[in-house]
């Protein structure tokens, strides 16, 4: 039984024997494999990427920014959890403050790229009463803490190894990829969402706009 010259697999007796037919069949198989791979990238949620992936692309959804005018944004869900420090956290306790919530993972390349910008923005806006909060996806606490030390992240992060906090936003503004950053207004409504790596001027403008809104 003949061998496939590229893959070393066994060709069935029914496979095309003419070289042109074999090339056409191989192209069709490769095209189907590519389509399936693209479908897998587009069809899932946060769970499609993790420490075992290359971290080079977004999990799903299209990178970009969504801004809600005035008080039209969806209400942020009730979020409670444990910080990497071990302390308990409740998002409702931050009502009255603008909150910047960043979903990240140490295994995520764009997360590493944007981390220094988030650290600088936190230093700039914390004196204005803005609260920064990370949500660490699918990491061990030790790996996440090392990430925070390496990038001088001074604000806290929730430990979310099972995506429970991320999935709490599914019915409001789902963080469709990692990283995703939400700006939550003083009234507890989501003012903006950034899917993908943030820019310093872009996120600074979104935070400033949220600060300008009355509670």
Based on the fold, state whether residues 13 and 118 are members of the same structural domain. no
Between CA 42 and CA 134 the distance in angstroms is 25
Asked if the structure places residue 21 within a domain, the reply is: yes
pLDDT at 209: 96
- State residue 12's pLDDT score: 30
Give domain status of residue 26, yes or no: yes
Is residue 113, in this structure, part of any structural domain at all?
yes
Q: What is the CATH number of the domain that holds 114?
A: 3.40.30.10
pLDDT of residue 26: 43
Judging by beta carbons within 10 Å of its beta carbon (0-12, 13-18, 19+), is residue 65 exposed, middle or buried? middle
Q: What is the pLDDT of residue 60?
A: 46
Q: Which is it for strands 131-137 and 157-160: parallel, antiparallel or unpaired?
A: parallel
Q: Are residues 27 and 102 in the same domain?
A: no
Q: Is residue 50 part of a domain?
A: no
Q: Please give the pLDDT value at position 86.
A: 93
pLDDT of residue 28: 39
Q: Within this chain, do residues 31 and 137 fall inside the same structural domain, yes or no?
A: no
Q: In this structure, are 76 and 146 located in the same domain?
A: yes
What integer pLDDT is reported at residue 170 of this predicted model?
Answer: 86
State the residue range of the domain holding 79: 64-212
Are 17 and 75 in the same domain?
Answer: no
Residue 160 lies in a domain: yes
Q: Do residues 23 and 112 share a domain? A: no
* 157 in the same domain as 89: yes
Q: Which residues of the chain have pLDDT under 70?
A: 1-62, 176
Residue 58 located in a structural domain: no
The pLDDT of residue 61:
52
In a domain, 57, yes or no: no
Please check whether residues 164 and 106 belong to one and the same domain: yes
Asked whether residue 38 falls in the same domain as residue 79, the answer is no
The Cα-based distances of 27 to 21, 22, 24, 32, 79 in angstroms read: 10, 9, 5, 9, 49
In this structure, how many other beta carbons lie within 10 angstroms of the beta carbon of residue 185?
24
SS3 string, 17-29, reads CCHHHHHHHHHHH
Tens of pLDDT along 54-113? 433 334 456 789 999 878 899 999 999 999 999 999 999 999 999 999 999 999 999 999
Domain total for the chain?
2
Q: Based on the domain organization, do 131 and 198 belong to the same domain?
A: yes
pTM of the model: 0.73
Q: Could you tell me if 6 and 38 lie in one domain?
A: yes
pLDDT at 79 (0 to 100): 93
Shared domain check, 130 and 36: no
């Amino acid at each position: 039984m003949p061998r496939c010259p590229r893959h070393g697999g066994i060709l069935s007796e029914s496979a095309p024997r003419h070289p042109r037919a074999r090339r056409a069949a191989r192209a069709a198989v490769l095209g189907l494999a590519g389509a399936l791979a693209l479908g897998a990238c587009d069809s899932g949620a946060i769970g499609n990427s993790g420490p075992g992936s290359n971290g080079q692309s977004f999990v799903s959804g299209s990178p970009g920014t969504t801004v809600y005018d005035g008080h039209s944004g969806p209400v942020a869900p009730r979020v409670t959890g444990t910080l990497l420090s071990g302390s308990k956290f409740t998002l409702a306790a931050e009502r009255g403050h603008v909150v910047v919530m960043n979903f990240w993972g140490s295994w995520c390349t764009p997360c590493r790229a944007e981390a220094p910008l988030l650290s600088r923005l936190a230093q700039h806006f914390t004196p204005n009463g803005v609260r920064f909060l990370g949500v660490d996806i699918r990491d061990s606490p030790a790996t996440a803490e090392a990430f925070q030390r390496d990038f001088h992240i001074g604000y806290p992060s929730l430990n979310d190894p099972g995506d429970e906090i991320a999935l709490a936003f599914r019915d409001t503004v789902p963080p469709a990829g990692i990283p995703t950053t939400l700006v939550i207004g003083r009234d507890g409504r989501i003012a903006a969402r950034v899917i993908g790596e943030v820019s310093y001027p872009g996120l600074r403008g979104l935070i400033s706009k949220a600060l300008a809104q009355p509670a």
